[in-house]
Amino acid sequence: TKEWYKKSYQTWMYIAYPVFLYSCERIVRLFRSHDAVKIQKVAVYPGHVLALYMSKPTGFRYRSGQYIFINCRAVSPYEWHPFSITSAPGDNYLSVHIRTRGDWTSRLRTVFSEACRPPAEGESGLLRADLSRGITDSNARFPKLLIDGPYGAPAQDYREYDVLLLIGLGIGATPLISIVKDVLNHIQPGGSVGGAEPGGTGKAKKRQFMTKRAYFYWVTREEGSFEWFRGVMNEVAEKDKDQVIELHNHCSSVYQEGDARSALIVMLQELQHAKKGVDILSGTSVKTHFARPNWRSVFKRVAVNHENQRVGVFYCGEPVLVPQLRQLSADFTHKTNTKFEFHKENF
């Protein structure tokens, strides 16, 4: 039709529903979002990763593996982006580690980097700002952050398994780090291994912490990536006296062990670890392996060590590894007495 009023009459049918859904989403987020959180610590790591440590809002409860949406009005007043929580539920702070991949995250990293002090000698470009000991003049330089959440994710049901097999690729280790910290908190003196989940209500109070063993495999290409969670690795190595948590770091950009091209770095690594107990790549007591793990050998070892038990396999990273891990979980479930249940989350 050529009459403009007839065109307008038809147009509303196609616009009304999307506008209604969008408006509902904005209203729900307005009520769910918390007041601006206080920034306690900021760290800008090599490999374009920004770590934010925030105050935990009153009444904010979550489980390891879940994620939150973050809004920074200094970057964009209307954009909300999801990020996995890296702090454990028992921590008195809330933390996220953000890999810069796009305009919004790049701008966020720039804004916070400007408020951090220059890197000290030997910090490999690491930028930090620690405001947790009190309010300082630099507080005003940080932009305000709003959070919305928490939201559920595949890894949040890890407490229901006897054994955990956690596999993270690159920045995909973020939700798994929270799980490792939560398991560590439960094995500490005063923790509640086998007890009810703290801070829960209703059915959550009856949920038991069943995990007795955890294997964590972190695969990354850049050796500088190990600096992201160096503090967590050192804490686990120091406090896990019963070796409930087994940590494995893999640097895939180095030739596998036994290859002549990596023989020199292996010799230096062994010498440094034997002399000082510190790995030359990760900077922690956790020894770094070279090349990708042999996943079939990993599954076989877990199946042999934990017969007649349920193993929760949680993977977070690029989709390329999903088919192999899903198939191995199915194979070892059918061929052994150990039951593997596979869960994945892709970035």
The tokens describing 19, both together, are 């506008």
The tokens describing 257, both together, are 């062990």
pLDDT at 269: 54
Residue 86's alpha-carbon distances to 15, 64, 82, in angstroms, are 40, 8, 13
Phi then psi for residue 112, to 5 deg, are -75, -30
* CATH code given to domain 154-198+208-345: 3.40.50.80
The CA distance from 38 to 44, in Å, is 18
* Alpha helices (runs of H) in the chain, residue ranges in sequence order: 4-32, 103-113, 174-187, 230-239, 263-276, 295-305, 322-335
CA-based nearest residue to 180, from 97, 219, 228, 236: 236
Average pLDDT over residues 16-27: 87
> Taking all residues of the chain, what is their mean pLDDT, rounded to a whole number?
77
pLDDT in tens, 290-327: 778 889 999 999 999 998 999 999 999 888 889 999 99
Architecture per CATH, domain 34-151, reads as Beta Barrel (2.40)
Domain-by-domain residue ranges, the chain? Answer: 34-151, 154-198+208-345
Range in 17-31, 138-152, 282-296 the model is least confident about: 282-296
Q: Does 124 have pLDDT greater than 50?
A: no
Asked whether 233 and 284 are in contact (CB, 8 A), the reply is: yes
pLDDT in tens, 211-244: 888 999 988 877 667 777 777 877 887 787 778 8
Higher pLDDT, 332 or 134: 332
pLDDT at 130: 56
